Chain A
């Protein structure tokens, strides 16, 4: 299971892991439903970054903080800082390469 983030654990998760990939989604969003299994696959595979999900509907303050206004959006954090934002559905390899290159 991919870690679910919310207002209470978001900052600590980002700080405690060197590199983090966060899938920002909402249940009624078609492309998000397609992104979900891809993120789960990435999380289950071998990798040197942490993976988490953020429900933007339930955590609107975080969405505002990171200027999210389209989903799915992938956020990549390194050393606690946002270094990359990917908007829209992406294939698995492209996501992994983007995180590794960040």
Chain B
């Protein structure tokens, strides 16, 4: 589908961007899961006009309703790939929806990467990996586990079946769309519904311990929490992220790539809703202006 502005991320910044873009009468799609926003689980009491504490998820629900009432389309899925072709951007979702956009606003926020269990830090590069696409080749014929509930875990689990001899997917509650989960299972992935508690090994990883006390003998542990990272997404749209994975923007929240904007926590601290919302407003207006100028 051809769209003027695609917003990746359904947190406060992305939603505000959608409200302002949609009100400028450019076609707007906002893609993301509200539950993935850092604000979803927060109790908010420092946001103007809202006498809290209020549950963040309530703000997000209301915000999406507002954005939709102004004409934005809301797609509650993760983005699995983004590409730049000529002057346009091709955005694909986990549910196989595809959008060709003239402008993209990245408002993915920041996501947790580390698991924080014993053994994780010690075995990085010795069997622990945060990038299955990077490191799949080193685990040919070996036994591995993928840890994570979201799309990246599902995609990684399926990918690893092409390399490893045995692939376990450790997820208490898979949150990726059913089609991705089914594809992983069909490819031979063995799902384990228990939280991981420890990664064990000597000079290399040799086991993963689960909360039920069971132990899986393996060679590799791939930690793939959340959706595809903002750093990976923008690189596929020809933009280099900063060393700390943030995205650099100018005063109009535009990046170096024409038509690519960013706002909210993904461009830096402080991680505050008020700041994210203000930036979302600016980015939404800038993207709408960009569409009108290039029309």
Q: Which residues of A contact B (CB under 8 A)?
A: 26, 28-34, 37, 56-57, 60, 63, 67-73, 85, 87-89, 91
Contacts and interface: CB of A to CB of B under 8 A. Distances in A.
Contacts of B115: none
Contacts of B240: 34, 37
A26 B232 CA distance: 15
26 contacts: A28-B133, A28-B134, A29-B131, A29-B135, A30-B131, A30-B133, A30-B231, A30-B232, A30-B235, A31-B134, A32-B134, A34-B243, A57-B137, A67-B126, A67-B204, A69-B125, A69-B139, A69-B220, A70-B124, A70-B125, A70-B129, A71-B134, A72-B134, A73-B125, A88-B124, A88-B125
Contacts of B135: 29, 69-71
Nearest to A91: B243
Interface string B143-173: 0000000000000000000000000000000
Given A69-B129, A70-B129, A91-B243, A30 B220 contact: no
Interface string B190-221: 00000000000000100000000000000010
Contacts of A30: 131, 133-134, 231-232, 235
Specify the main secondary structure of chain B where it touches its partner.
mixed
Given A30-B134, A71-B135, A87-B125, 16 more contacts: A29-B131, A30-B131, A30-B133, A31-B131, A31-B134, A34-B235, A60-B137, A63-B138, A68-B138, A69-B126, A69-B220, A70-B124, A70-B125, A70-B131, A70-B134, A87-B124
A31 B133 CA distance: 11
A69 B138 contact: yes
Contacts of A88: 124-125
A20 to B, nearest CB: 19
Nearest to A29: B134
Nearest to A72: B134
Contacts of A26: 134, 137
B241 interface: yes
B284 interface: no
